[in-house]
Amino acid sequence: MKTFLDLAALPALKEDLRHALPGARASDRIEALARGLGYNTYAAMRAALTNGGVLVAPDDLAFQAYLAARGDPPNERVLRRTLAKLDLRRAMDREADLTTAGFGVGWDRRETAAVRREKKRQWRADLLHDVSADEFELARLYVDQLVPRKTLNRDFSTYGLKHQAERLSRDRGIAAHLGNYVPNGVFIAAAISAGFTVKRCQPDDLNGFINATTPSIRAAQTGQLIDRTTASCVLGHALHVVTG
């Protein structure tokens, strides 16, 4: 999974790393981030980004090795979760109604407006949990197989497609370390981050349509386009860093 990296993204990345690795020194965290994103130093990464944003692919081993050499405990999911949360935030910025449930929180006439506002606030916050970051990566594994088209495909809703993403793990054993559940809103965020257009099925609907071709949707059900090495190793599964 590649992520768009620019200077504006660095504060959020550093803040998430601070929460994920509270015992590591700040300098170690940002230098490990640079190594994990393909740069020799943090200064070199910042200098490169002054020329504009770039797509980066995480190098878990380089990230972990830098931290391990400085005595910091390994955590194989930190880098990828940090990048996933960056993309989740971007999707939330684009869609003010995005929650774990999809677009909004649904309608229940028994709830007051205040209750619905609090529910929306909480469900948006839930999008930035570690579990949501893993679910996002599973969704991206599925979405990255899809082929865009010019118009929305109204034969498949995001709710149905998110079940297909879940089956990659549940039924086919692909990236099982990421779990086997993908909330509707996380799937929508994954589609947005991959460059797809997502629009509500109806004005008050939780679900959306995306502009993906039907043949690619049907092919993606099997996971046949996913590189199994990528799914099992590059995503951080069973990484071991030698600390001695």
Q: What digits encode the pLDDT tens for the residues 179-215? A: 999 999 999 999 999 999 999 999 889 999 999 999 9
User: What percentage of the chain reaches a pLDDT higher than 90?
Assistant: 82
Domain ranges across the chain: 3-75, 82-234
Of 146, 174, 175, give the one whose Cα is nearest residue 158: 146
Three-class SS state of 194: coil
User: pTM higher than 0.75, yes or no?
Assistant: yes
Q: What is the pLDDT of residue 74?
A: 75
CA distances from 202 to 71, 117, 207 (A): 53, 20, 8
The DSSP line for 129-140 is SHHHHHHHHHHH
For residue 210, the Cα-to-chain-centroid distance in whole angstroms is: 17
